[in-house]
Each structure stands twice: as structure tokens, then as C-alpha cells.
Amino acid sequence: MAENRAAAQRLVACYELFRQCQRQEESGVGAGECRPGHAVVDPVEVAVGYVVAVMAVSTRRAEAMITFAFDLHTRYPAVLAALSAGRLDQRAAQVLASQMATVHVDVLELVQQQVVEDYLAAIEGGIRLGEKAVRGNVDAIIARYDADGLRLRRREAARTRGVRFHKGIDGMSSVSATLATEEAAVLAEALDHRVADHKYADAQARANTAANVDAATAGDDGAARDKDEDYSLAERRADALMSLLCGDTGLTGPPGAAGRPGAGGAAGVGLVPLRPQVTVIATGNDARDEGGVRVEFTRTGQAALQALLDLLAASDGASLERLDPGIGAADDARAALTYRPGAALARRIRLRDGTCRHPGCAVPADHCDLDHAAPFNHADPDRGGHTVEGNLVCLCRRHHRFKTFSDWSYTLAPDGTLHVTTPDGSTMRTRPCGPLAQYRREQADAETQAWQRQQPRNPDPTDTDPTDAEPTFWSRRATRHRTERARTEHARTAPAPTSGTSNNDPAANQTSPNTVSRWWARNTPHHSDIEKGIRTLLHDHLDELIDPPPF
């Protein structure tokens, strides 16, 4: 109950903050000059900015808090009273309010009073309802007083239909779809049919393999089944979705063959060619070093280099964009005096920032405006506000207008860090989160670690601490020789493979360097029987041939 009361207090504070911002806007810039429903600076945006500064939450969450607080005070006082008394939790209050969003104002008071009383009676009577059941009970009450409100809410729900992409982490991204019920049913059916196709193809492949192996290898079929069981339904549906969109050449048997479930037309018919757009961030010197190159898919985020190679192998083509990560690499002295940035500079800013740079905002950079942190001087461009990387940031349209017309101040550091200062003196900072900024931070961290590793090798000349001593040349050479002798001894005593080993022996089919490295064929070592004999002969006398250290 204490948490419920605290949630109510936060919402009351959010409403009071909004009212204060609204009063300031009505007496401030543009007061009385805008038509109803319009404002130069939206009071909600100002209130959201202060909530983000105080509570360190996202813009979306802060806006949801402000709007929910406003609705509770102006439309749902009965819900607010139950929340303030601790009898109703905030999540339940949000569910009840969302169900009554389109109830006509003439019957709203009666409806919400009955909705709150029924819900509290059920909870306090020991009944625990799921969210779907709660929504169903609320709709039953609304239907008795305002059936048109239900129909209106369902028509408006259709406007939330859409597909959205979200950049993830660890090489994964998420795709969310909000579809009409009948559309979702069709998609689910199509995915299940393709999953059945894949299972049939896997079963056929296992049957063909089992028919060509001897009895010794047949015992590994259980391991294959265990591996197949680890292949979850969710993973199969993900593969089925990609197969439906991009085609699938891995299905065995002709489409429509007897016994093949879900068989339809030929795979790939009417499909859009697969041509990914890829950004490769590299200086040119580090591109071949591990970790020195970064692969970024334009819309979905970072991926592993091997994943890129696999995708390109299955694609019809690709658009590869190479980007120099140096700060200001796309700046131009003459273009700096023009208001509109060039295409190359605009692309760098979006790759650096990743999202809108206003504190708490997560609008993707591709959907943002480019704004000058220090305003561009149209009368005399030489005096400042240049169009260069160090003075441009991504801001969504709402926060672009907010920056332009509000009295908040914005300062951009050379590394892309944005400092935002509110009128009351509070300061917030946002760091760019795009792939270019992440690459720069990784390189800076690598340089810092290299410097720290270097320090023990460069001790203070006046310090005689023995812990700073390093192995001598002779000690390092002796260690290297011992390692080489151990490797030679292991190669000499290791049993040689028998000539009767079957090609189907799992031990013989283990992954080796020549199956995973494209460069192995060029660097394959050549063994000499004469060299091996000399090594064997001299092995016991090698210590005598190597001169001992002179001291």
C-alpha cells in the first residue's frame, strides 16, 4: 500500500509541474498569439524535460507519467482516489483508464465509479484477475452505458497497426508487429506451415545420412536428435519468417511432393532481391586486425564480420559504405559557411548520434533533424555556428523546436557529448550512442589500455623496486627453446592415424583449420622426413649445442 501511495504522490507532483509549465507558457513567448490547441513551446515538453532531469527516465516514460497524471486529475478522479488510498496499484489504474479512454463524458463518472468498485471488491475478496479478465469486466460495464465508446476505441486501435525495428545488443535486433487479429492468424498459419516444411527437410536429411553410414556412426543419431530438440519453436519460427520473406533453397524434395506438409509454390517466387545496406567503419590501417573493423547494418545495428560474409554469400548484391572514423574527416572549410550540411557530413552525424540527442529521447537518428548546437549566423557565417561535425546534433522535430524556442541552453563538446542546461541551472549530459561514436570509444579504450600496459615496462629510473625487473634476453630465449622442444617431443610421440580410418568417423571429421580459415591452404606446413629425423637425433643433445648464458 505504501508503494501505491508513493506512486499517487509522484503523479500528483507531475500534474502540478505540468500546471506550472502551462501557466508560464500562457504568460511567456507567444502568449495570446497562437490559435487554440497550439503553442510555440508545448508545456508538456517542458514538463517532460524537467521530469527527465530529476528522475533520470526516458522521454517516453516521462511523457506517459505526465499524460497519465493529467488524465487522472481531469477524467478519472475515482481511480486517483483509490490509488492515493493505497487500495489500487499503478498498473491496474493504467489498465482501467485505458479501457475507459473513449467513454463519453456524460456517463464517465458513473462508469468509472462502478468499474473501480467492482475491481476493488474482487481484489479485496481474494480474487486475482489477469489483465485480460480485468479488461473484459470493464468492457462489460462500458457496454451497458456507452456501447458506441467501445466501437470507437476499437476503430482507433486499428491506427496502432504497424511493424517496427529496434536495434539490440550482442548482434541481435528485435522486430515487433502490431496486426489485426485476422492478419496475425494468417501470418501464424504461414509460419507454422513453413516450420513443418523445415522439419520435414531435416528428417529427410537425417534419413539420407543414416542410409550412407555404417553401424558405428549410426549410434550418433541420438545426438542429432538431441541437437534437434534444442532447436526451439521460437527459433524455427524466426527461420521460417526469413524463409518466407527471402526464399529458402534448403528444402528437400519438390514443392507439393506427397507427404510434404505445407508444400506450396516454388520458393523464391515473387520475392524481393536480397541486397543489404552495410556500413563498415575502419581507418584502413586496422581493418585486418581483430576488433579493428566494425560492421553496421544501417537499420538494425552491429553484426559480426562472419555473419556479414554469410549474408553476402546468399545475397543478390549489397551496398557497402566505408567510413573514416576520424573526428571532422568530412568537414570542409567552404561548406562550413553554408547552412545545409552535405550528404556525407549528414550521414556521419546520424551514424555518430544514433538517436535524438535530447536527454531521454530515443527517436532513431534517421527520423531526426540536424540542428546547429551554436546557432548558424545567417547574416555573417564567419562569426560562428559553422556547419561542421563539432557543431551538429540530431534532434527529433519536437525537440528541435523545443531547443529553438525555449530558454534551455545546449553546448556540444568535440567528442559529441551534449551538455543541456535548464533555466534553474540543472545540467544534463548525453553521449552519442551511434556506431561511429561506439567505435571511437572502443579505440580510445584500447589506446588507454595500451598505455597502461606500457607503464610497467617504463619504470621510474630512480625506483629500485625489484618487482619492476623484466626477464633478460637469455631467459626469454631459454623459455622459447623449452617451449619448442616440448612441442617437438609431443609431435614425435603422438600416435599416427591409422590408414583404415573411415571417412565417416566423427573423430576424423572434427573441425580443423583448413575447414575454417580461407588462408590455411596457402600457409599449409610442409613436413620433411629428413628434418624430422635430424630433430629426433639431436633432441637429447640440444642443450649441449645451445651456449649457456655468459652470466
Nine cell digits for residue 269? 517466387
pLDDT for 185 beyond 50 = yes
Residue with cell 521460437: 234
Q: What is the mean pLDDT of residues 510-518?
A: 41
pLDDT for 14 beyond 90 = yes
Q: Are 370 and 341 in contact (CB under 8 A)?
A: yes
Please give the Cα distance from 368 to 187 (Å, whole number).
Answer: 32
pLDDT for 94 beyond 90 = yes
pLDDT value for 431: 94
In terms of pLDDT, which residue wins out, 384 or 511?
A: 384
Please give the Cα distance from 345 to 389 (Å, whole number).
Answer: 7
pLDDT value for 369: 95
pLDDT for 273 beyond 80 = no
Considering 25-39, 435-449, 525-539, the range whose residues carry the highest mean pLDDT is 435-449
Please give the Cα distance from 31 to 40 (Å, whole number).
Answer: 9
Strand locations in 145-228 (E): 162-167, 173-178
What digits encode the pLDDT tens for the residues 237-260? 888 888 888 776 545 444 444 334
Portion of the chain with pLDDT greater than 90, in percent: 36
Q: What is the mean pLDDT of residues 439-467?
A: 76
pLDDT value for 242: 83
Centre a 10 Å sphere on the Cβ of residue 252 and count the other Cβ atoms it contains. 15
pLDDT for 521 beyond 90 = no
pLDDT value for 408: 93
Q: What is the mean pLDDT of residues 284-290?
A: 47
Measured N-to-C along each axis, helices 181-211 and 221-229 cross at an angle, to the nearest 10 degrees, of 170
Q: Is 250 helix (H, G, I), strand (E, B) or coil?
A: coil
What digits encode the pLDDT tens for the residues 376-417? 999 898 888 899 999 999 999 999 999 999 889 999 998 899
Please give the Cα distance from 197 to 413 (Å, whole number).
Answer: 55
Q: What is the mean pLDDT of residues 9-31?
A: 82
Please give the Cα distance from 343 to 49 (Å, whole number).
Answer: 31
Please give the Cα distance from 171 to 303 (Å, whole number).
Answer: 5
Please give the Cα distance from 449 to 536 (Å, whole number).
Answer: 43
Phi, psi torsion values for 359, nearest 5 degrees: -55, 125
The pTM for the full model equals 0.67
Comparing CA positions, the residue from 265, 266, 267, 293 lying closest to residue 279 is 293
User: What single string gives the DSSP state of each residue in 403-470?
Assistant: HHHSS-EEEE-TTS-EEEE-TTS-EEEE---SHHHHHHHHHHHHHHHHHHHHGGGS--TT---GGG--
Comparing CA positions, the residue from 504, 502, 501 lying closest to residue 212 is 504
pLDDT value for 101: 92
Residue with cell 500562457: 26
Mean pLDDT of the chain: 79
Q: What is the mean pLDDT of residues 304-322?
A: 68
Portion of the chain with pLDDT greater than 70, in percent: 69
pLDDT value for 258: 38
pLDDT value for 282: 65
Range of weakest confidence among 22-31, 172-181, 265-274: 265-274
Q: Is 278 helix (H, G, I), strand (E, B) or coil?
A: strand
Residue 40 pLDDT level (bands cut at 50, 70, 90)? confident
Indicate the residue type of 195.
Answer: V
Q: Are 464 and 313 in contact (CB under 8 A)?
A: no
| DSSP run (H or E) holding 297 | strand 294-297
> Could you tell me which residues come within 8 angstroms of residue 135 by beta carbon, excluding any fewer than 6 positions away?
95, 99
pLDDT value for 508: 44
Please give the Cα distance from 148 to 524 (Å, whole number).
Answer: 78
What digits encode the pLDDT tens for the residues 192-229? 998 888 888 888 888 888 777 654 454 455 555 555 56
Pairing of strands 319-323, 277-281: parallel
Tell whether the torsion through CA atoms of 253, 259, 262 and 263 is positive or negative. Answer: positive
Residue 513 pLDDT level (bands cut at 50, 70, 90)? very low
What digits encode the pLDDT tens for the residues 340-375? 999 999 999 999 999 999 999 989 898 999 999 999
Please give the Cα distance from 34 to 11 (Å, whole number).
Answer: 29
What digits encode the pLDDT tens for the residues 48-59? 999 999 998 999
Please give the Cα distance from 545 to 551 (Å, whole number).
Answer: 17
Centre a 10 Å sphere on the Cβ of residue 509 and count the other Cβ atoms it contains. 12
> Could you tell me which residues come within 8 angstroms of residue 397 by beta carbon, excluding any fewer than 6 positions away?
368, 369
In terms of pLDDT, which residue wins out, 266 or 148?
A: 148
